[in-house]
Amino acid sequence: MTKPLTRRTILRGAGVALGLPWLEAAAATTPRHPVRLAALYMPNGVNVSAWTPQGKGRDWQLSPTLQPLASLKDKITVMSNLWNANSKGGDGHYVKEAAILTCATIKKTPGADIANATSVDQMAAQRVANLTPLPSLELGVTPVAIGVDAVVGYTRIYGSHIAWSNPTTPLAREINPRSVYERLFRASSGPHGNAAKMDALLLDRVLGDAKRLRTQVGSEDRIRLDEYLSVMRSLEERVQRASATNKTPWKPRVAIDPKTAPTDQPVDHAEHVRLMLDMIALAFQSDTTRVSTFMFGNAVSNVSFRFLPGVSAGHHDVSHHQNDADKLRQYQIINQWHIEQYAYLLKKLDSMKEGESTVLDNSMVLFASALSDGNKHDPHRLPLVLGGCGGGRIDSGQHLVYSDDAPMANLYVSMLEAFGAPVERFADSTGPLQGLLKGA
Amino acid sequence: MLLRLATALVLYAAAALAAPTEEFTFDKAQAFLKTYCHNCHKTSVGGFDLNVVATPGTLRTAPVKWNRAALRTRNGEMPPKGSPAPSVDARVEFAGWVEHSLRQEACAEGIVPGPAPIRRLNRDEYSATIRDMLDIHMDFGATLPVDGAGGEGFDNAAETLFLSPLHSEKYLEAAKFVMDFAAKEYKSRQKIFVAYPGKGVTADQAARRIVESFLPRAFRRPVTEAEIAPYLALYQLARKQGNDFEPAILFALRGALVSPNFLFLSVPPQSGTGAKPLESYALASRISYFLWGSLPDEFLTDLAAAGKLHEPAVLRYLVERMLRNDRSLVFAQRFTEQWLGTRDLRGDKAPDAKLFPAYATDEELRGDIRFQPILFFRELLTQNLSLLNFIESKGTIATSNLSKHFGEKLPVRANASKQPQWVELPEGSTRGGLLGMPAVLAVSSHPYRTSPVLRGAWVLDTILGTPPPPPPPNVPALEEPHAGAAPKTLRDRLLQHRANPVCASCHEKIDPLGFALENYDVIGRWRTEDGGKAIDNSGEFPDGTKFQGPTELKAALMQRKDLFVRHLTAKMLGYALGRGLTLKDSCTVDAIAQKVKDNDYKARTLIEEIVLSVPFRYQMARPQQTQREQTNRD
């Protein structure tokens, strides 16, 4: 593995990546429909015996847990036996879950020198940041877990973030559906014209003030202020784009109706999840962003699934089933519930027409857990489903079975390729994922 | 018997003991390393080479290597599977010796200030600062993302207060929202519009006066002309766009609320060598964000301006004054909830609604339960009571609701029985100290049933600061029944699992602590039977020591009171400094803990000594700064 970049280098790099002028970047895009990328993360692994489909290639049958995807079988790809080698050591959860989209080995720390790698969604987002009002959308349903897990010595920040804009910056998530909705609406509808122009002026002056402060602090503190300058500058650029009234090339593909805002107090976990998934669909349909991540829960989530018939315990507890038949049964019910939510999002995207195709046809929506059998904390044979056709690039409708040591990072190489943000390597990748892309 | 139980606790607590076990020496440590590590690490393997820790001097020159070796050994990550491995007790003994030796070495050079990193206001601090600055009572930080935590486990740790693109958007929006709101509030307007254009005052002059009065409050220090300029320029820009005086002012001040000078707390670097007192205004902010979670008031600012803030008598007076102020409730709440983990009662750890309707349906009771430990701590602070009350106390915070919940007749004032209040507990009460509080008992349970393992681990981690090592990889969690032969009670199941020697080595030290608390159900109600079976609250340690119930457990913890006080001191210092502690900070922690002990464990002594401590009041000067300043001057 290459030596991790320093925070400073990365920020400089990010500045370059984001610095492309709006019009120029917009003109460079040609595909008729944008390709979107999302990742849905489920904590605590799966009941393996009910997860893996029978058969392979195009001749395969959905497993019991994957049944909710039956009507979408042609538009999904199930991948078996991929693993995340760099998440092998360390503890049972944080190391795995923080690395689900980065394929890196996180640094064991209570916080001072946090280190991961840039996640695959952010690699994609950084490539198209100039094309949509929001670079990406990070969502969840539970707040960041507070504190340091003293038993294993990791800050819980690791278990609460899968999207990392660089090795030292996890991205904050939103958990309130109403506030996401309002954000999407604002981003897709304005502020245009004068208000945006004023915002840009304001940010310009404030950035000047920030630069002065930067010269007055010590070198360690400058790194923090660089982080500030970086996010404020990219906001300024976005606001400037929005203020260029008659030249703005971006228009919502489907306008967001301000009157259909969701509640900010969902009645239960299930409703909360659905509302957040609705926000991804809305964001993708309107093209407010093309990249999103969603966490069903934090690492070691012990959300009670007693609202499901036949389940009597919390998520994490059930995942430590010890091969007890009843626990395994409950584990499977919980897994399948997650797949139902995933299917809900895929169906919703598939119902959104885009010319001859649907938004799902032009998306890649990954469903992933960072463990296979939660009882073993095992990052081998990860449960992975890719929904959607990536704008026609994905050879969907297959069960792809790999040899045991095939890196999951190969999947990310192929997803970035289909997204239009190709990379030569991603972490421990050895090439593209065989059989995933058409003609590859 | 109690003494023997206390000794058993020590076994586990050894890693954080102030004094090493007598027999352990440097030579023993070398023998330990030779036996278990030499085979691989005789040369550099995995970045660790035994030669770098071969002499006593390396404890000073290579503390990071030592620390890592100790941690990995203690946590059972090393030696790897298949190699001869030391027992858990031997691991803990070795790690404890390393930690103690490193601390001694680090303290040899005396107490030093440590880092003073710039840090962003967290969500709560942002809200409180806006509230106090503009006198508007609204939670403006509510739309900001929730902050994570690092360092000593608090959400004010500089190192984990990241910035996402989401933050920049939310800050910009919130600033607009705040100023629009403030413009309509009488009290806020008084704070903002200290001047108005009129007779003898031009609009530009009024604008300047307003900005000159607003910025020092927002930036919490005097500002220079160069710092005022961009905000006056914003005002002018707005005027040129055709805005009236008032909207133009609000626009300029919005800018100030997005400035890093407002959003971050920073300590200006100082040139020279050695420790230098913090610049007065930085110290004022540090005290104020520690005890109030908000910006300094006028009194504090005036003291800073007069250069009196560093005087110990002034600081002692301030601590007392500030703790008495209502704003210190925020401090008690944020510290207590994060230290004890009881914030999670509103999240993952909420007791199951179907199983515990008494809790789920009674909002008032939930509030009482949540605030009990917070108000308990606040009472210790304002009455300057002993911190040992956390372990065992003759009084607690109660309401009529809690009294009913406890099933104990408590002397709650009849005319204000709903108000949380300090009450004396009757003889034989089971409600003294933290371990009698439902919030603590719930957060150390599963949402649907109690867990002696979780509660035992909670006591070791939260009270004593000696978390048990993590379970070895790929060993399933305890407690779940094996298929086929599931024994009936939880205790039987745990005992069965302890038949596995790998599990037993730790669980025989964790579980008994939790069993002593089995009389409390998930939501902290007292019970004598569970599912028709009598509760067995007895425990037995590996050496055969037997004990029973919470009272004997608390008496045993009392034997380790200095360990508890040291742990609490470290937590509090980390919170006060807003950063993780370093090895060198442990000398400060030792010194403060000693002073607290010498002063009968008084709660206020802890706060005072932290505020008076070197890391809190001083910073390291930077020699390289001198050079640059020199260049600038030339």
Mutation site, B258, B281, B340, B494, interface A, largest A CB count within 10 A = B258
Q: Do B622 and A217 touch (CB under 8 A)?
A: no
Å between A213 CA and nearest CA of chain B:
7
Read off the pTM: 0.87
Task: Tell me what the mean pLDDT of segment A419-435 comes to.
Answer: 96
> Tokens standing for B98?
């390393």
H helices of B242-327, in order, are 245-258, 260-263, 280-291, 298-305, 312-324
The shares of helix, strand and coil residues in chain A, as percent rounded to the nearest 5, are: 40, 15, 45
CA distance A154 to A91: 9
* Domain boundaries of chain A, sorted by first residue: 35-182+259-419
Residues B213, B223 contacting (CB under 8 angstroms): no
H helices of B469-525, in order, are 490-497, 501-515
Among A239-248, B286-295, B445-454, B579-588, top mean pLDDT goes to B286-295
Task: For residue A413, give the amino acid letter.
Answer: V
Q: By CA distance, what is A205's nearest residue in B?
A: B230
Side-chain-side CA neighbours of B215 within 13 Å: the count stands at 26
Task: Tell me what the mean pLDDT of segment B466-493 comes to.
Answer: 59
Q: What is the ipTM of this complex?
A: 0.86
Task: Tell me what the mean pLDDT of segment A398-408 comes to.
Answer: 94
Taking alpha carbons only, the member of B536, B532, B530 closest to residue B548 is B536
pLDDT given for residue A26 in this prediction:
43
CA distance A110 to B92: 20
The rounded mean pLDDT for chain A is 88
Taking contacts as CB-CB distances below 8 angstroms, the residues of chain A near B120 are 224
Taking contacts as CB-CB distances below 8 angstroms, the residues of chain A near B352 are 304, 306
Asked whether the predicted pLDDT for residue A302 surpasses 70, the reply is yes
With cut-offs at 50, 70 and 90, classify the pLDDT of residue B472.
low
With cut-offs at 50, 70 and 90, classify the pLDDT of residue A377.
confident
Contacts of B78 (CB under 8 A, 6+ apart): B36, B37, B69, B72
Contacts of A183 (CB under 8 A, 6+ apart): A134, A174, B169
* Measured CA distances, B113 to B181, B264, B309 (Å): 41, 20, 18
pLDDT given for residue B613 in this prediction:
97
pLDDT given for residue B422 in this prediction:
97
Architecture of domain A35-182+259-419: 3-Layer(aba) Sandwich (3.40)
Taking alpha carbons only, the member of B605, B519, B518, B526 closest to residue B569 is B605
Å between B270 CA and nearest CA of chain A:
9
CA distance B254 to A426: 42
Q: Do A303 and B477 touch (CB under 8 A)?
A: no
With cut-offs at 50, 70 and 90, classify the pLDDT of residue A191.
low
Residue A355 in 3-state DSSP?
coil
pLDDT digits over B250-292, tens only? 999 999 999 999 999 999 988 888 899 999 999 999 999 999 9
With cut-offs at 50, 70 and 90, classify the pLDDT of residue B7.
very low
Taking alpha carbons only, the member of B258, B235, B256, B251 closest to residue B174 is B258
Q: By CA distance, what is B451's nearest residue in A?
A: A317
Taking contacts as CB-CB distances below 8 angstroms, the residues of chain B near A306 are 352, 354, 448
Q: By CA distance, what is A232's nearest residue in B?
A: B168
Side-chain-side CA neighbours of B386 within 13 Å: the count stands at 17
Please, what sign has the CA dihedral across residues A336, A337, A338, A343?
positive
Residues B160, A114 contacting (CB under 8 angstroms): yes
CA distance B477 to A204: 55
Q: By CA distance, what is A138's nearest residue in B?
A: B166
**Higher per-residue pLDDT: A91 or A36:** A36
In this complex, the residue of B255, B470, B480 whose CB is nearest that of residue A206 is B255
Q: Do B163 and A228 touch (CB under 8 A)?
A: yes
pLDDT digits over A93-110, tens only? 899 999 999 999 999 888
CA distance A31 to B306: 66
Write phi, then psi, for A59 (nearest 5 degrees). -105, 90
Length of chain B: 634
Task: For residue B249, give the amino acid letter.
Answer: I
> Tokens standing for A334?
């919980």
Residue B137 in 3-state DSSP?
coil
In this complex, the residue of A89, A91, A157 whose CB is nearest that of residue B160 is A157
CA distance A286 to A132: 10
Contacts of B172 (CB under 8 A, 6+ apart): A199, A202, A203, A235, B258
Asked whether the predicted pLDDT for residue A20 surpasses 70, the reply is no
Task: Tell me what the mean pLDDT of segment B167-191 comes to.
Answer: 95
Asked whether the predicted pLDDT for residue A374 surpasses 90, the reply is no
With cut-offs at 50, 70 and 90, classify the pLDDT of residue B23.
confident
Taking contacts as CB-CB distances below 8 angstroms, the residues of chain B near A211 are none
Task: Tell me what the mean pLDDT of segment A194-200 comes to.
Answer: 88
Among A147-156, B439-448, B579-588, where is mean pLDDT lowest? A147-156
Q: Do B153 and A227 touch (CB under 8 A)?
A: no
Task: Tell me what the mean pLDDT of segment B543-562 comes to.
Answer: 87
Q: Do A314 and B241 touch (CB under 8 A)?
A: no
In this complex, the residue of A150, A155, A303 whose CB is nearest that of residue B348 is A303
Contacts of A411 (CB under 8 A, 6+ apart): A79, A82, A366, A384, A386, A433, A436
Q: By CA distance, what is B624's nearest residue in A?
A: A218
CA A262 to chain centre: 22
Asked whether the predicted pLDDT for residue B518 surpasses 50, the reply is yes
Taking alpha carbons only, the member of A124, A194, A204 closest to residue A163 is A124
Among A42-46, A377-381, B173-177, where is mean pLDDT lowest? A377-381
pLDDT given for residue B496 in this prediction:
67
Residues A373, A46 contacting (CB under 8 angstroms): yes
CA distance B56 to A111: 30
CA distance B147 to B343: 13
pLDDT digits over A154-182, tens only? 888 999 999 999 999 999 999 999 999 99
* Domain boundaries of chain B, sorted by first residue: 9-108, 119-265, 342-557
Task: Tell me what the mean pLDDT of segment B359-377 comes to.
Answer: 96
Q: Do B448 and A209 touch (CB under 8 A)?
A: no
Q: What is the dihedral of CA B28, B29, B31, B35, to 10 degrees?
A: 140
The C-alpha angle with vertex A155 and arms to B150 and B580, in degrees rounded to 5, equals 30
Taking alpha carbons only, the member of B285, B289, B265 closest to residue B128 is B289
Side-chain-side CA neighbours of B121 within 13 Å: the count stands at 29
Task: Tell me what the mean pLDDT of segment B52-60 comes to.
Answer: 88
**Higher per-residue pLDDT: B445 or B493:** B445
The C-alpha angle with vertex B447 and arms to B446 and B452, in degrees rounded to 5, equals 25
Side-chain-side CA neighbours of B543 within 13 Å: the count stands at 12
With cut-offs at 50, 70 and 90, classify the pLDDT of residue A308.
very high
pLDDT given for residue A192 in this prediction:
67
